[in-house]
Structure 1
């Protein structure tokens, strides 16, 4: 027996909610893909900060949201209390996991700079070494894109023996179009070198702060949306069960 009156309105609200929830899942998937494309190239530089894992987590969450929204839509359309309860429990689990992740992220957000500094300094000495092609490419990508050099500043490269010269920086530090292999040779002994002098640590930290803020804002919006969905699902579940008992 189909629900009537107020219950019918709730049924349509649950269905509309899940349709919107489906599109939010697509948005989370897109966010994960965007994060992977923006920061995935730096993954080898920052082993202490699992950037790729964060992107994969968003992608996995998006897939789960799509599946859960399917249960919600089908449960509302069929007026099936079992599917509605499954939807409610899945939604509650996702909400709890999101809340836990947000709390952990908030607690450890101040440690990001320390992790970035430690990982980048460790990576300097392995630049251009055998079997370190991924790390070398990641350093070059970072310095070109962020227009930076070294960790705190360009003099950090004095810990390496680039091209047999302790006074050299990678060519990716060079300004403008001068990207020849030797453009960074000996620049650490020059008072005003033609390379980027600002370190990459702050640029990376700013990027992480920006992404964390965007993800946090998205998480709060989705969390509020999920609470609304749980309320609608439970109201519809109760309506269907009560109607079945008194039919």
Structure 2
């Protein structure tokens, strides 16, 4: 392969990996921000991937590590790093596809987990059980206030212990205050669906970049092998 062609492919690989690394670093930072500031972490516990921050954090960390290896391999023209990058990137892409299939095929089961977790949290809050921590109560109050909803499916889920966070006015001073008449589960599902659409578009873009990197790394590895650029 001509040296100018090798330099062109190497530069292109470095650029794409750097862009992918930046995307991964941003995803990690955004995931950390959501973990620290999320109002839903204590309400969804049975199936952690439906909490977007966890998915962003894990995916972003893996992507940054793999892309950093690709940058080093291309820059040092090291075939060992390049082939390791190729294998790890290929496995990462398979995992991304598998996760997409899981969310697509088991979307109903995920919704069931989601609703069951919310109902368990509501029962703990309503009955003031030992599991009803201050964090759980604050999160549920914040969800009802933010999404203007009450209960999981309907306000009657609360029985006679309707919290003041269901009040339609802020501040809520009246003794017999009016409450929101919609449950929170549908509004939260719509909110999560919107977040996953945004996350999904970013993942698709990253997947395309990763596929191009995968295609470029093959001819570069072959060239480095012929030139004996292995483990230096």
TM range (shorter): 0.7 to 0.9
Corresponding residue number in structure 2 for 1:212? 196
- The answer to whether the Cα contact below 8 Å between 1:31 and 1:58 also exists between their aligned partners in 2 is yes
Corresponding residue number in structure 2 for 1:94? 92
Corresponding residue number in structure 2 for 1:18? 17
Indicate whether 1:172 and 2:165 are aligned: yes
Change (3 A) 1:26 1:171: same
TM-score (norm 2): 0.86
Corresponding residue number in structure 2 for 1:79? 77
Matched residue of 1:13: which SS? helix
TM-score (norm 1): 0.81
Instruction: Output the CA distance in 2 between the equivalents of 1:114 and 1:22.
Output: 35
Corresponding residue number in structure 2 for 1:190? none
Matched residue of 1:127: which SS? helix
- What are the within-5 Å matches in structure 2 for residues 27-176 of structure 1? 27-36=26-35, 40-50=38-48, 54-127=52-125, 129-131=128-130, 132-133=132-133, 134-158=135-159, 166=160, 168-176=161-169
Change (3 A) 1:109 1:16: same
- The answer to whether the Cα contact below 8 Å between 2:52 and 2:196 also exists between their aligned partners in 1 is no
- What are the within-5 Å matches in structure 2 for residues 172-211 of structure 1? 172-179=165-172, 194-211=178-195
Instruction: Output the CA distance in 2 between the equivalents of 1:110 and 1:169.
Output: 29
Instruction: Output the CA distance in 2 between the equivalents of 1:51 and 1:77.
Output: 35
Corresponding residue number in structure 2 for 1:6? 5
Instruction: Output the CA distance in 1 between the equivalents of 2:28 and 2:228.
Output: 39
Instruction: Output the CA distance in 2 between the equivalents of 1:228 and 1:10.
Output: 11
Instruction: Output the CA distance in 1 between the equivalents of 2:105 and 2:51.
Output: 19
Corresponding residue number in structure 2 for 1:161? none
Instruction: Output the CA distance in 2 between the equivalents of 1:85 and 1:130.
Output: 55
- The answer to whether the Cα contact below 8 Å between 2:153 and 2:182 also exists between their aligned partners in 1 is yes
Gaps in structure 1 of 5+ consecutive residues: 159-165, 188-192
Instruction: Output the CA distance in 1 between the equivalents of 2:101 and 2:72.
Output: 33
How much does 1:149 deviate? 0.5
Matched residue of 2:106: which SS? helix
Number of residue pairs aligned between Structure 1 and Structure 2: 226
Q: Deviations over 1:52-111 (max 9, x none)?
A: 865234223222222222221221121111111111111111111111111111111233
Instruction: Output the CA distance in 1 between the equivalents of 2:124 and 2:72.
Output: 55
Could you list the structure 1 runs, at least 4 aligned residues long, displaced by more than 4 angstroms after superposition: 51-54
Match of 1:222 among 195, 201, 206: 206
Instruction: Output the CA distance in 1 between the equivalents of 2:200 and 2:108.
Output: 15
